């Protein structure tokens, strides 16, 4: 009798714990997703069809193709292929990836509508309603998402030339290096 | 007296093409109606300190340096600032920059100047400050600020054993330094004495190519009785490269990823020395420089003293430029110069030469053929690299191999292009590969920050959404005459379902109360649907 009672209590405790910790089953472990996410350029541009690099990383972990990231280009594809143990695919895009650029607001033309501020996925635009906006160049990922919402067309995407770091020593921060660490 | 010389690695002997421009004395190019000062600098943009409509005097500060690798800009003549706007510039990848535009008044009236008669009495730190405020940057082409070079990373005058003055103008066509040495040897020597006063080097070596006989004679005459040793170095391209000249004169090699100061050497161009003299002794900022105009599309080739900011067309016009026969316009020398798409650019502190060539002078290169692995390129490479390997890896986008083959030690001299029997534009390939790797490194630095900012952005937008929703519900209830306490407070820490339940109960109670009171009742949730 006592044993049965103890068993029942134990069972219910286990059951309760299970219910409390219940989450929908993920098909890919978090670690895999995090690794894939780190291989993506973090542009957050949505050109892959997902709402940012993290959602695309989740999709890749669950079987999405690895060739949908234009900003990452061939380097990212190669790194992803190595990590996912799949073949290298050509970039799924009609046009070649544009050169890395940053947004520049022609401030004299800005009317202060805040539309670009709302569009920026990394909050790299400062400004307030009816006041001039400007881009924090160091934070801009060049995702292009601010250009289309601008009603006065005062945003240019300029090639990244200045503010580039000076490379004088071989630095192990290249995407392919990351891949070799994980493979 | 003659210092021993060490051999340089590699090197080529292209046709010098100096005689077209080195015969006539330096001419003053005059004051153009408009002066244009690009704000873009090495790693940052200069920050304007003037406003449109402001009157400025010659030598007045118009923009301060954006960072320690930038230099201030000064009005090179007097007049009115008429605009700060985007204009075309000469740059490898950026074709435009924000520029300060100055309309000159023709008076060329100076601001007040405070000359130093005897700089030997002045403290080294003060001399460096004076050089910094004068905006003196390396006139040889790279445009590194002279003051930053003098203090190095430790923020005090560098301690070096050898000061090297670079008068080895090895690039074909360019004769600006040659004419400067022949005509203004005194200014250069005074500049070197300022540098000696600051750095206190054990020896000062002045390298000039042995084919520049007149410059050698002039400088030897001007340095009699000083401890400046003028040394004739073999005429070989690229002896005038900083690392190469140091190797020839001292036998020491600047370490990869290092600076000349690491081996106790600092190297300054003759033009920089002259600018330092003017800055320190005369209190004149870097307002003008000597520019060579050469090429067969100009009838009056030669060297000009040009105000910084002068539009190139105004300068070309003085040299008898014929746009109709000009097919190739190059900023810089024939080896390392930058082909220009437009002549509509201003002269900057680093513009030392412009070549306006004709079709027969610069015939179209035959199309590049496949690399035949002849190895000539590695024989002529002054940096002892393997260009053919770098080329293969650059084409394959093999970043690790590019680093392993020391791509960033390439000085982009173009000796490999010159010798390549397959006419492969190797230096351009290396420039592009370097740019790509720099962009990549920038992205790698930025990516984790962008990730964080994206997460923060999402959290913020979600929070704002929730706040908006809550305030909307509150407004609805207020218009329905309900008590505001009935509105659930935003709370994300506890399970949301429980909160919602409580809120629903509260809302139900409130509704019941309102019904009792006889207020008109509409379901709140449906009220604002479009």
Six-digit token pair at B381? 């490479």
Chain B residues with CB under 8 Å of A22 CB are: none
Q: Convert the pLDDT of each residue in B235-267 to its tens digit.
A: 998 999 999 999 999 999 988 878 898 999 999
User: In this structure, which long-range contacts are made by residues B60-65, counting pairs with CB atoms below 8 Å and at least 24 apart in sequence?
Assistant: B60/B111, B62/B37, B62/B100, B62/B102, B63/B37, B63/B39, B63/B100, B65/B41, B65/B135, B65/B145
Q: What is the residue whose two structure tokens read 């105000």?
A: B307
Given pLDDT bands bounded at 50, 70 and 90, which one contains residue B387?
very high
The answer to whether A72 faces chain B, any CB pair under 8 Å, is: no
For helices B270-281 and B176-183, angle between their N-to-C axes, nearest 10 degrees: 50
pLDDT of residue B194: 94
Instruction: Flag whether the pTM goes above 0.80.
Output: no
Residue B521 has pLDDT above 70, yes or no: no
Structure confidence at residue B111 (pLDDT): 94
* pLDDT more than 70, % of chain B: 90
Q: Establish if B317 touches chain A: CB-CB under 8 angstroms.
A: no
Give the contacts of B87 (CB within 8 A, at least 6 positions apart): B36, B38, B96, B97, B98, B99, B101, B345, B346
Calpha distance B356→B164 (Å, rounded): 32
pLDDT tens-digit series, residues B101-136: 999 999 999 999 999 988 889 999 999 999 999 999
Contact B76, B56 (CB under 8 A): no
**Reported confidence tier of residue B441, pLDDT bands at 50, 70, 90:** confident
Residue A62, φ and ψ in degrees, nearest 5: -105, 20
CB B183 within 8 A of CB B345: no
Considering only CB atoms, B93 lies closest to which of A42, A161, A173, namely A161
Residue B34 phi/psi, 5-degree rounding, is -135, 135
Return d(Cα B467, Cα B460) in angstroms, integer. 10
pLDDT of residue B490: 52
Which chain A residues contact residue B456 at CB under 8 A? 123
Tell me which of A93 and A111 has the higher pLDDT: A111
Q: Exposure string (b/e) for B355-369, b if CB count within 10 Å is 16 or more?
A: bbbbeebbeeeeeee
pLDDT in tens, A42-63: 999 888 999 889 999 999 999 8
Question: Would you say the C-alpha torsion B2, B6, B8, B12 has a positive or negative sign?
Answer: positive
- CA dist B110 and B75 (Å) reads 10
pLDDT for the residue numbered B489:
54
Q: What pLDDT, on the 0 to 100 scale, is given for residue A174?
A: 32
Task: Assign B79 to helix, strand or coil.
Answer: strand
Q: State whether B460 and A139 contact (CB < 8 Å).
A: no
Under a CB-based contact definition with an 8 Å cutoff, are residues B247 and B253 in contact? yes
pLDDT tens across A95-120, in order?
A: 777 778 889 888 888 999 999 999 99
Binary contact (B40, A162; C-beta < 8 A):
yes
Q: Chain B: residue nearest A108 by CA?
A: B85
Phi, psi of B197 (to 5 degrees): -60, -40
The model's confidence at residue B498, banded by pLDDT at 50, 70 and 90, is low
Q: Which of B453, B456, B463 has the highest number of chain A CBs within 10 A, making it the mutation to test binding with A? A: B453
B508 pLDDT above the threshold of 80: no
Q: String of b and e for A159-183 (b: at least 16 CB within 10 Å)?
A: bbbbebeebeebbeebbbebbeeee
How far apart, in whole angstroms, are the C-alpha atoms of residue A107 and residue A154? 8
Return all residues near B249 (Cβ < 8 A) that are at least 6 apart: B3, B5, B6, B162, B164, B205, B207, B231, B233
Do B265 and B197 touch, CB atoms closer than 8 A?
A: no
Which of B40, B94, B441 is facing A165, going by the closest CB pair?
B441
Distance from CA of B191 to the nearest CA of A (A): 29
For tokens 């001039």, what's the residue?
A132
CB-based contact (8 Å) between B142 and chain A? no
Distance to chain B for A174, nearest Cα, Å: 7
Residue B530 clears pLDDT 60, i.e. is over it: no
A171 to chain B nearest CA, in Å?
8
CB-based contacts of B226, cutoff 8 Å, min separation 6? B189, B193
Angstrom distance (rounded) from CA B166 to CA B146 = 14
CB spacing of B437 vs A174 below 8 angstroms? yes
User: Any bridge partners for residue B207, and if so which?
Assistant: B166, B231
- B chain contacts of residue A159, beta-carbon cutoff 8 Å: 93-94
CB of B41 less than 8 A from some CB of A: yes
Q: Hey, are the CB atoms on A173 and B445 less than 8 Å from each other?
A: yes
Neighbours of B152 (CB within 10 A): 16
Chain A residues touching B403 at Cβ < 8 A: 170-171, 174
- To the nearest whole Å, the CA of A31 is away from the closest chain B CA by 16
How many Cα atoms occupy the beta-carbon half-sphere of B512 within 13 Å? Answer: 6
């Amino acid at each position: 009798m006592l044993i049965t009672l103890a068993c029942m209590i134990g069972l219910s405790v286990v059951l309760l714990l299970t219910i409390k910790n219940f989450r929908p089953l993920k098909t890919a472990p978090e670690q895999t997703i995090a690794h894939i996410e780190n291989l993506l350029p973090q542009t957050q541009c949505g050109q892959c069809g997902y709402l940012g690099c993290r959602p695309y990383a989740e999709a890749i972990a669950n079987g999405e193709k690895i060739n949908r990231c234009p900003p990452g280009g061939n380097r990212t594809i190669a790194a992803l292929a190595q990590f996912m143990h799949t073949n290298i695919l050509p970039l799924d895009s009609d046009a070649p990836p544009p050169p890395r650029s940053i947004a520049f607001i022609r401030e004299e033309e800005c009317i202060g509508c805040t539309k670009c501020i709302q569009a920026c996925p990394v909050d790299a635009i400062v400004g307030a309603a009816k006041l001039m906006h400007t881009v924090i160049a160091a934070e801009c990922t060049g995702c292009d998402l601010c250009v289309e919402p601008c009603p006065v067309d005062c945003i240019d995407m300029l090639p990244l030339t200045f503010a580039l770091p000076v490379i004088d020593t071989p630095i192990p921060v290249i995407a392919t290096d990351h891949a070799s660490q994980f493979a | 007296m003659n210092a021993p010389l060490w051999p340089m690695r590699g090197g080529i002997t292209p046709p010098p093409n100096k005689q077209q421009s080195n015969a006539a004395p330096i001419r003053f190019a005059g004051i153009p109606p408009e002066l244009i000062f690009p704000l873009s600098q090495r790693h940052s943009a200069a920050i304007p300190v003037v406003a449109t409509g402001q009157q400025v005097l010659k030598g007045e500060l118009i923009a301060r340096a954006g960072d320690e690798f930038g230099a201030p800009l000064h009005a090179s003549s007097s007049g009115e600032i008429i605009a700060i706007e985007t204009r075309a510039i000469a740059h490898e990848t950026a074709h435009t920059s924000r520029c300060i535009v100055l309309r000159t008044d023709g008076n060329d009236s100076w601001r007040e100047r405070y000359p130093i008669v005897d700089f030997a009495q002045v403290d080294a730190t003060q001399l460096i400050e004076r050089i910094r405020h004068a905006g003196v940057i390396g006139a040889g082409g790279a445009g590194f600020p002279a003051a930053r070079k003098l203090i190095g990373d430790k923020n005090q005058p560098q301690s070096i054993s050898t000061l090297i003055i670079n008068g080895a103008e090895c690039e074909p066509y360019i004769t600006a330094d040659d004419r400067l040495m022949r005509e203004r040897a005194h200014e250069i020597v005074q500049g070197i004495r300022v540098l000696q006063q600051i750095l206190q080097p054990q020896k000062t070596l002045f390298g000039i190519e042995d084919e520049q006989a007149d410059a050698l004679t002039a400088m030897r005459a001007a340095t009699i009785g000083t401890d400046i040793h003028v040394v004739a170095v073999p005429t070989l391209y690229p002896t005038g490269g900083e690392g190469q000249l140091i190797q020839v004169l001292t036998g020491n090699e600047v370490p990869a990823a290092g600076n000349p100061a690491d081996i106790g050497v600092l190297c300054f161009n003759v033009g920089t020395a002259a600018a330092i003299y003017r800055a320190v002794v005369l209190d004149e900022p870097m307002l003008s420089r000597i520019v060579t105009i050469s090429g067969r599309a100009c009838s009056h080739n030669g060297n000009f003293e040009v105000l910084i900011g002068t539009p190139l067309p105004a300068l070309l016009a003085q040299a008898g430029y014929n746009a109709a026969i000009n097919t190739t316009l190059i900023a810089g020398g024939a080896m390392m110069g930058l082909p220009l798409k437009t002549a509509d650019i201003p002269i900057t502190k680093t513009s030392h030469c412009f070549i306006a060539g004709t079709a027969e002078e610069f015939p179209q290169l035959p199309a590049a053929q496949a690399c035949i692995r002849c190895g000539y390129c590695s024989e002529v490479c002054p940096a002892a690299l393997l260009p053919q390997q770098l080329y293969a890896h650059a084409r394959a986008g093999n970043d690790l191999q590019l680093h392993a083959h020391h791509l960033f030690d390439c000085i982009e001299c173009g000796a490999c292009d010159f010798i390549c029997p397959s006419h492969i534009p190797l230096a351009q390939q290396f420039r592009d590969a370097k740019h790509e790797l720099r962009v990549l490194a920038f992205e790698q630095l930025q990516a984790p920050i962008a990730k964080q900012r994206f997460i923060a952005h999402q959290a913020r937008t979600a929070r704002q959404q929730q706040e908006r929703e809550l305030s909307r519900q509150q407004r609805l209830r207020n218009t329905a005459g309900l008590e505001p306490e009935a509105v659930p407070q935003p709370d994300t820490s506890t399970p949301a379902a429980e909160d919602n339940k409580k809120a629903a109960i509260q809302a139900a109670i409130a509704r019941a109360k309102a019904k009792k009171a006889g207020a008109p009742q509409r379901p709140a949730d449906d009220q604002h649907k479009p």
